Structure 1
Amino acid sequence: MRLLHSSRLEMTYFIADEDIPPYAILSHTWGEEEVSLQDWQSLSSSDINFKRGYSKIKRCCEQAQHDGLEWAWLDTCCIDKTSSAELSEAINSMFRCCMDVPALEFNLARSRWFTRGWTLQELIAPANLIFFSMDWRPLGTKSQLHNILSSITGLEKKFLNSKNLELASIAKKMSWAASRKSSRIEDTAYSLLGIFDNDMRLIYGEGKRPLRDSKKSY
């Protein structure tokens, strides 16, 4: 697993699970000019700073430091997406988590974060999840906002805790994802792997086939 040091802004790859230190995770929706691992490795610091996606990396690391965490993980720059093996490993183990709503407009329902496929598991999985605005003002924790989160997502409050997922039927889990969209059609299935406690062979380019295969698995 590759992590970003929150103060030095250096990447380190941890091979053994027992060596992985505590870290913060950024859950977000992708936008223009995200910083990839290849950008991080090849571009100068000044060039990276000019990319729009850099600001969320910087603010995530600052927040991690504030919370006493030395490391951070972001799916944009901590995964080598040119490596099918690394991408597959990351997706199959990604059951993990910020936000994109203006701080002064406390209307979470308008956030695009709730419409994306990957963010469903990122809502359910963490025991400690803090929502932030675009300018990184804290909006509240998952436990503090459980009523509005339940209303927005259709998840009963008990299912906002991943420990209770086994109590949810397959049909209920599928209903949570029904209105969510993914940029790639394969991710419609891949983003549900953690919720169904399953893994599968990842091959992008198969179109709807992963959806058919995942239905056969359950």
Structure 2
Amino acid sequence: MRLLKVKADGSFSLTSFAPDQIRPYAILSHGWEADNQDVTFKDLTNSVASSKNGYRKIQFCGEQARNDGLEYFWVDSCCTDKMDFTELSTAINSTFRWHQDSARSYVCLSDISMDIRPQSSTQWESAFR
């Protein structure tokens, strides 16, 4: 399993682990960006990741993991080399277990805007009836 390691300066690097050596990690569940703006494994290894819109999600996950006392995190779009079909197949078959085994799971809904005004319970309760 390949994880991103959060460095002291807030940057991160890819680190590979044998199955029995995996350290506690956070995992990011997210929607895909439009127009190839998600950061891929290739983007990280070629140092062009920060030029993509999806980089913000990775920064968020790294910051939150560090705030939660975790040194490592996993993001499907960039921790798996999708050009390596064996690795991709392993990742697809392992994703459920990786989510289940994570110390923390974060969700990034980039297509949802946040209204910071508090709503009364009657405003949202009707939506669930």
Superposition TM-score, scaled by structure 2 size: 0.73
> Which of 31, 38, 43 is the equivalent residue of 1:34?
38
More strand by share: 2
In the aligned structure 1, how far is the partner of 2:66 from the partner of 2:85? 32
Aligned to 2:3: 3
Look up the SS of the partner of 2:12 in the other structure. coil
TM-score normalised according to structure 1 size: 0.45
In structure 2, the residue matched to 1:81 is 82
Q: Which amino acid aligns with 1:2?
A: R
* 2:21 partner letter: D
Cα distance in structure 2, aligned partners of 1:51 and 1:13: 23
C-alpha RMSD over aligned residues: 1.9
Judge conservation of contact 2:41–2:77 (CA < 8 Å) in 1: yes
| Superposition map of 1:117-136 within 5 A | none
Q: RCO greater where, 1 or 2, for CA within 8 Å and sep 6 or more?
A: 2
Query: 1:102 deviation in Å?
Result: 2.4
2:17 to 9, 14, 27: 14
Counterpart secondary structure, 1:12: strand
- Cα deviation 1:112-158 (Å, max 9, x = unaligned): xxxxxxxxxxxxxxxxxxxxxxxxxxxxxxxxxxxx9xx6xxxxxxx
SS at match of 2:73: strand
Partner of 1:103: 114
Using the TM superposition, give the Cα deviation of residue 68 of structure 1 relative to its aligned residue in structure 2, in angstroms. Answer: 0.6
Kindly report structure 1 stretches of 4+ aligned residues shifted beyond 2 Å. none
Gaps of 5+ in 2: 100-104, 118-124
The runs of 5 or more residues in structure 1 that have no matched partner are: 107-147, 152-218
In structure 1, what is the Cα distance between the partners aligned to 2:81 and 2:66?
Answer: 24
Tell me, in whole angstroms, the C-alpha distance in 2 between the residues paired with 1:89 and 1:24.
19
Total equivalences in the alignment: 104
| CA shift for structure 1 position 3 | 0.3
Give deviations 1:146-195, integer Å, cap 9, x for gaps. xx9xx6xxxxxxxxxxxxxxxxxxxxxxxxxxxxxxxxxxxxxxxxxxxx
Greater Cα radius of gyration, structure 1 or 2: 1
* Alpha carbons 2:57, 2:108 under 8 Å: kept: no
Q: Which amino acid aligns with 2:68?
A: D
Aligned residues: percent identity? 42
Q: Quick one: distance in 1 between partners of 2:44 and 2:91?
A: 18
CA distance in 1, matches of 2:85, 2:55: 24
